[in-house]
Structure 1
Amino acid sequence: MTEAKGADLGLPDLTGPAGLPYRPCAGVVLANPQGLVFAGRRIDNPGHAWQMPQGGIDAGETPRQAALRELVEETGVRADLVTVEAETPDWVTYDLPPELLGRVWKGRFGGQAQKWFLMRFHGQDSDIRIDTDHPEFDRWQWMSAADLAHGIVPFKRAVYAQVIGAFCDRLA
């Protein structure tokens, strides 16, 4: 699938590090009824970084559609098992650190511009399946939002603080 262009999504014309554009992305704060948040431990990070489901927005997708697709692709959780409760009012951006510039996303982007969605999970833990066709996580657990913010890679901590702040009134 071709990735969406920021202008097609109403993304402001922002430039990231090295003059590269931001990659349009959608993210999911999947919360259980107790207000704890899904956290997956990334397979590709030797530091055992935790993160929430997220990924690029494909051409022709809305951010919400991309978030629901990424949720299924990364956790196995179907759309009928969640209720979308809220979304961040603005795009949240982060810059790649210098050591990752030119190495990820084929060197085309300097960071990401993300639209985040709070989704309430109504299923059972057994409905979560990280053993997907293209797994991104080797382990998952429910965490408090504060613990997750400390477990993310350092260059994404400000993003997680902003996202969690946007939804804090609905989380534990």
Structure 2
Amino acid sequence: MTEQDRAKYRPCVGVMLVNGEGQAFAGKRIDNKEGDRWQMPQGGVDPGEDLDVAMLRELAEETGAKPQHLQILDRLPDELFYDLPADLQGKLWGGRYVGQRQTWYLVRFTGADSDIDLDAHKHPEFCEWKWVAPDLLPEMIVPFKRDIYRAVVEGFRGKL
């Protein structure tokens, strides 16, 4: 893929946040229009921002998790790409991108459930959250992201 092609995809970090039992965090988006869809924390990387810094920032914004409760276990070696469905292209992110290119992390949450605070940021993204078996994640996400979630679950299998 050329740099010009890569520029069509929004740079993003994603996090499989797992607890001590190996269950993964799933959040229900506030703006969920597709019914009962849940996702892992993820978000854009600012220009020039270090990926590790972006990942910790996104976790803090979306889950309220503090760095002292986080242990980075792994990072997938390659970016994962997805395209937005045709009806969303041109509508999200100012119409600048056709999809996202995501760097995925596996992070252990060592705090208590009470340390999760969905309202920690002034613009919360999730209205509910729960711990789930990682293998359930691909069926919980919007259909156009399922292949990404399968790749993430497979990529971190055995490292939980």
Tell me which residue corresponds to 2:71: 83
1:83-124 CA distance string (max 9 Å, x none): 000001100000000010011001000000000110001000
Tell me which residue corresponds to 1:119: 107
User: SS state of the match for residue 157, structure 2?
Assistant: helix
Structure 1 position 12, deviation (Å): 5.7
Q: Which runs of 5+ in 2 are unaligned?
A: none
1:85–1:118 contact (8 Å) kept in structure 2: yes
C-alpha separation in 1, matches of 2:2 and 2:41: 23
Question: In the alignment, does 2:13 pair up with 1:21?
Answer: no
Call closer, same or farther: CA 1:88–1:12 in 2, change over 3 Å. farther
Using structure 2 for the length normalisation, give the TM-score: 0.94
Structure 1 position 148, deviation (Å): 1.6
Call closer, same or farther: CA 1:12–1:162 in 2, change over 3 Å. farther
Q: Which aligned segments of 4 or more residues in structure 1 are displaced greater than 4 angstroms?
A: none
Tell me which residue corresponds to 2:88: 100
Structure 1 position 166, deviation (Å): 0.7
C-alpha separation in 1, matches of 2:128 and 2:2: 35
1:35–1:170 contact (8 Å) kept in structure 2: no
Tell me which residue corresponds to 1:60: 48
- Of residues 143, 154, 159, the one that matches 1:154 is 143
Using structure 1 for the length normalisation, give the TM-score: 0.88
Call closer, same or farther: CA 1:12–1:27 in 2, change over 3 Å. farther
User: SS state of the match for residue 59, structure 2?
Assistant: helix
Q: Give the total of aligned pairs.
A: 158
* % identical equivalent positions: 49
Question: In the alignment, does 2:27 pair up with 1:40?
Answer: yes
1:47-74 CA distance string (max 9 Å, x none): 1310001000012211111111000000
Q: Which runs of 5+ in 1 are unaligned?
A: 1-10
Aligned-CA RMSD value: 1.5
Give the residue type in structure 1 aligned to 2:27: G
Call closer, same or farther: CA 1:89–1:161 in 2, change over 3 Å. same
User: SS state of the match for residue 13, structure 2?
Assistant: strand
